[in-house]
Amino acid sequence: MQATPENRACLEWACRVVYGIDAEAEIYARRDGALVLDDLFRIDPANSPTDASIAALAQMMKLHLGGASFGELRGDLIGSGVGEQFADRVHDHLVDVSVEEWAGLRGRIRWYRDDTACTESASTAEQGDT
């Protein structure tokens, strides 16, 4: 299954936050959802608390971009059973994201959208005199 541009950008951004990856470092979320940073790796929320944090943060970011309020997201996290302390940490992080950083995330979504665009390949058939 191919990840959406929103999923890819949010996953990349959440990974940067949780692992403390510098904004200048190259990281890329592939179309299949795997991440590339020096080596290829996959987020496995079922087997890693860190990966579960990345997945939850990425999903909350995506839902916020879709219009959900920070309070709604906190409530949804608590309702999912992750615990109030974890929900508070995600909430506090999202609230602290600047307008410029949200704009940067939207820009990265556009970048990933361009990455998935279908382009018509140019014809290689010879035309006219050569």
pLDDT in tens, 16-75: 888 888 878 888 898 888 888 877 788 888 888 888 889 999 999 999 999 999 999 999
With the C-alpha atoms ordered 53, 62, 15, 73, is the resulting torsion angle positive or negative? negative
pLDDT in tens, 84-101: 999 998 999 899 989 999
Does residue 130 belong to any structural domain of this protein?
A: no
Does residue 91 belong to any structural domain of this protein?
A: no
Does residue 10 belong to any structural domain of this protein?
A: yes
Count other Cβ atoms within 10 Å, centred on residue 87: 21
- Residue 53's identity, in one-letter code, is S
Query: What range defines the domain where residue 13 resides?
Result: 5-65+99-115
pLDDT in tens, 105-118: 999 999 999 875 54
**HEC readout, 40-100:** EECCCCCCCHHHHHHHHHHHHHHHHHCCCCHHHHHHHHHHHCCCHHHHHHHHHHHHHCCHH
Does residue 128 belong to any structural domain of this protein?
A: no
Does residue 78 belong to any structural domain of this protein?
A: no
Does residue 51 belong to any structural domain of this protein?
A: yes
Does residue 94 belong to any structural domain of this protein?
A: no
Question: Can you give the pTM of this predicted structure?
Answer: 0.78
Question: For the chain, how many structural domains are there in total?
Answer: 1
Does residue 75 belong to any structural domain of this protein?
A: no
The rounded radius of gyration (Å) of the Cα atoms in the chain is 18
Contact 70, 91 (CB under 8 A): yes
